Amino acid sequence: MSYPLVEACHAARRPAPPAPPPFAHHGPALLTEALARIPEEAVRAFTASWNDLPADAHLGAGTPYRFRRYGRFRIAGDGLERLPHVAFFQDRAVNKVSGGVARMFAPLDDTVACGPVLGAVVRTLREHLPGPRTGTDLCGVHQIRVTATDATDGHPAPEGVHRDGHNYVAQVLIRREGVLGAESCLYDLAGRAVHRASLSAPLETIVLDDRRVLHGVSPMRPAPGARRGVRDMLLVDFFPGR
């Protein structure tokens, strides 16, 4: 015989399941497998597109060390629907260096925005968010290159330890050559470091819950013997909207 009221009381006292960890650090296998069925030529063209990024005009540095493009999409079923190009905006509360400024970056090239690689990457990242997918109907895609020379350090995160102001953020390494530094670090909301890693293998990825952890990346300079350091990243912001 069952006692529904007693069972209901026990269920009410049962502790809620713990929230998943606020981030996940994936080796390159996750996205390598996601791209396995896409023609190699398309994948090569996708990664080569980082060689054609305009300088970030909003950086305010004498010598540009950051280059980027940006695009927004609605995630529709298994595909991406490109949205009109608009400025990228962050509140000053989350970005004390560039927040409060509508930053108009160059749009993604059509071959990147409409090609098969970006769709497969975004779909896979969204399947591996560290939490529920609610509120992830839109995404922002940033292609970013940061360079360093003996004369100019590169600053992957000039705003320091910060949030981006989204629900989730994925950080995908595309290329790292001749770089010393650029260590990624995640912090809990009290500012305690909870994860440190230098992304080194192409397609190595960190996916984080931007509401539950802060992040930062240390400055970079050329590795010994290198004339220039290059760090190419694909960032995907997931946020709500229609």
In 10 A of CB 19, how many CB atoms?
A: 11
Question: Contact residues for Fe ion (CB under 5 A)?
Answer: 164
Is the CB of 106 or the CB of 208 nearer to Fe ion?
208
- Residue 215 CB, shortest distance to Fe ion, in Å, is 6
Task: Read off the tokens for 126.
Answer: 């969204």
Is the CB of 160 or the CB of 240 nearer to Fe ion?
160
- Residue 139 CB, shortest distance to Fe ion, in Å, is 15
Is the CB of 56 or the CB of 164 nearer to Fe ion?
164
Is the CB of 138 or the CB of 237 nearer to Fe ion?
237
- Residue 157 CB, shortest distance to Fe ion, in Å, is 6
Is the CB of 148 or the CB of 170 nearer to Fe ion?
170
- Residue 98 CB, shortest distance to Fe ion, in Å, is 10
DSSP of the chain, one letter per residue?
A: ---HHHHHHHHHHSPPPPPPPSEEEE-THHHHHHTTTS-HHHHHHHHHGGGG--B-TTS--SS--EEEEEEEEEEETTEEEEPPP--B---TTT-TTTTTS-B-PEEPPHHHHSSHHHHHHHHHHHHT-SS--TT-SEEEEEEEEEEEESS--B-S-TT-SB--SSSEEEEEEEEEESEEE--EEEE-TTS-EEEEE---STT-EEEEETTT-EEEE--EEEPTT-SEEEEEEEEEEEE---
- Residue 169 CB, shortest distance to Fe ion, in Å, is 6
Q: Rounding to the nearest 10 degrees, give the CA dihedral for residues 36, 207, 238, 125.
A: 20
- Residue 168 CB, shortest distance to Fe ion, in Å, is 12
- Residue 49 CB, shortest distance to Fe ion, in Å, is 21
Residue whose C-beta lies closest to Fe ion: 164
Is the CB of 113 or the CB of 217 nearer to Fe ion?
217
- CB distance 32 to 121 below 8 Å: no
Is the CB of 164 or the CB of 204 nearer to Fe ion?
164
